[in-house]
Chain A
Amino acid sequence: MCQVDEDYHGPLQRAEVPSVSKKCVKCKEATAAVVIRAGDAYCRGCFKEYFIHKFRAMLGKNRVIFPGEKVLLAVSGGPSSCSMLRQVQEGLSHNAHKKLRFLPGVVFIDEGGAVGQSVEERQRTVAELHAVFKATSFPFHMVPLEQVLDLPSSVVVTAASPSERAASAYKAAVDHFIQSDTTSCVTPRQQEETLLPDVQESHTHSLQQLIGSAKTLTAKEELLNTLRQHLLVHTARTEGYSKVMLGDNCTRLAVKLLSSISLGRGAQLAQDTGFSDSRYGDIMLLRPMTEYSAKEIAYYNRMFRVPAVFTASLDTRTADKSSIQHLTESFVIKLQADFPSTVSTIYRTSEKLQTACRSSSTEECWDRCLLCVCALDTAAENASAFKATLISEQLSQSKSPKATRPNPESTAPAGQCCSPAGGGDCGKAASDGGCCSSAKAPETAHLRSLLCYSCQLTIKDMGSNQSSVEHLPQYILSEAQRRRRRSQMRQEIRDFLLDEADEG
Chain B
Amino acid sequence: MAAPIAIHLEFGGGAELLFDGVKEHHVTLPSQSQPWDVKQLLVWIQRNLLKERPELFVQGDSVRPGILVLINDADWELMGELDYQLQDQDNVVFISTLHGG
Q: Mark A residues whose CB is within 8 Å of B.
A: 17-18, 20, 22, 31-35, 41, 79, 251-252, 255, 294-295, 297-299, 302-303, 308, 310, 312-318, 325-326, 329-330, 333-334, 336-337
Q: How far is the CB of A228 from chain B (nearest CB, A)?
A: 14
**Contact digits for B26-65, partner A, Cβ 8 Å, 1 yes 0 no:** 0000000000000000000000000001001000000001
Which of chain A's residues have a CB closer than 8 A to the CB of B74? 31-34
> B66, B70, B77, B100 — which one has the most chain A CB atoms within 10 A of its CB?
B100
Which of chain B's residues have a CB closer than 8 A to the CB of A41? 75, 78
Query: Is there an interface contact between A251 and B65, defined as CB atoms closer than 8 Å?
Result: no
Q: A312-B17, A333-B65 are in contact. Are A298 and B95 (CB under 8 A)?
A: yes
Number of interface residues, chain B, beta carbon within 8 A: 28
* Contacts A41-B78, A251-B97 known; 20 new A-B pairs at CB < 8 A: A18-B78, A20-B78, A32-B75, A33-B74, A79-B13, A255-B99, A295-B97, A297-B97, A298-B97, A299-B68, A302-B70, A303-B73, A312-B17, A313-B99, A313-B101, A315-B100, A325-B99, A329-B98, A329-B99, A337-B65
Q: A302-B95, A337-B65 are in contact. Are A313 and B100 (CB under 8 A)?
A: yes
Which of chain B's residues have a CB closer than 8 A to the CB of A298? 13, 68, 95, 97
Could you tell me the distance between the alpha carbons of A382 and B23 in the complex, rounded to whole angstroms? 57
Q: How far is the CB of A170 from chain B (nearest CB, A)?
A: 35
Query: Is there an interface contact between A315 and B99, defined as CB atoms closer than 8 Å?
Result: yes
Indicate which residue in A35, A314, A334 contacts B75 across the interface (CB closer than 8 Å).
A35
Q: Mark B residues whose CB is within 8 Å of A.
A: 12-14, 16-18, 53, 56, 65-66, 68, 70, 73-75, 77-81, 83, 93, 95, 97-101
The closest CB in chain B to the CB of A337 belongs to: B65
Could you tell me the distance between the alpha carbons of A501 and B17 in the complex, rounded to whole angstroms? 57
The 8 A-B pairs of least Cβ separation, nearest first, read A337-B65, A294-B97, A313-B100, A316-B100, A333-B66, A35-B77, A315-B100, A33-B74
Which of chain A's residues have a CB closer than 8 A to the CB of B79? 20
Could you tell me the distance between the alpha carbons of A333 and B96 in the complex, rounded to whole angstroms? 12
Query: Is there an interface contact between B65 and A316, defined as CB atoms closer than 8 Å?
Result: no
Which of chain A's residues have a CB closer than 8 A to the CB of B75? 32-35, 41, 299
Q: How far is the CB of B21 from chain A (nearest CB, A)?
A: 10
The closest CB in chain B to the CB of A42 belongs to: B75
The closest CB in chain B to the CB of A39 belongs to: B77
Could you tell me the distance between the alpha carbons of A51 and B55 in the complex, rounded to whole angstroms? 33
> A303, A310, A336 — which one has the most chain B CB atoms within 10 A of its CB?
A310
Query: Is there an interface contact between A310 and B101, defined as CB atoms closer than 8 Å?
Result: yes
Could you tell me the distance between the alpha carbons of A100 and B14 in the complex, rounded to whole angstroms? 32
Which of chain A's residues have a CB closer than 8 A to the CB of B56? 317
The closest CB in chain B to the CB of A41 belongs to: B78
Q: How far is the CB of B42 from chain A (nearest CB, A)?
A: 15
Query: Is there an interface contact between A316 and B93, defined as CB atoms closer than 8 Å?
Result: no
Q: How far is the CB of A395 from chain B (nearest CB, A)?
A: 38
The closest CB in chain B to the CB of A318 belongs to: B100
> B16, B81, B98 — which one has the most chain A CB atoms within 10 A of its CB?
B98
The closest CB in chain B to the CB of A252 belongs to: B99
Which of chain B's residues have a CB closer than 8 A to the CB of A329? 66, 98-99
Which of chain A's residues have a CB closer than 8 A to the CB of B68? 295, 298-299
Which of chain A's residues have a CB closer than 8 A to the CB of B95? 298, 302
Q: How far is the CB of A403 from chain B (nearest CB, A)?
A: 43
Which of chain A's residues have a CB closer than 8 A to the CB of B17? 312, 316-317
Which of chain A's residues have a CB closer than 8 A to the CB of B101? 310, 312-313, 316-317
Q: How far is the CB of B37 from chain A (nearest CB, A)?
A: 13
Could you tell me the distance between the alpha carbons of A182 and B14 in the complex, rounded to whole angstroms? 42
Indicate which residue in A17, A79, A312 contacts B97 across the interface (CB closer than 8 Å).
A79
Query: Is there an interface contact between B73 and A33, defined as CB atoms closer than 8 Å?
Result: yes
Which of chain A's residues have a CB closer than 8 A to the CB of B83? 17
Which of chain B's residues have a CB closer than 8 A to the CB of A312? 14, 17, 100-101
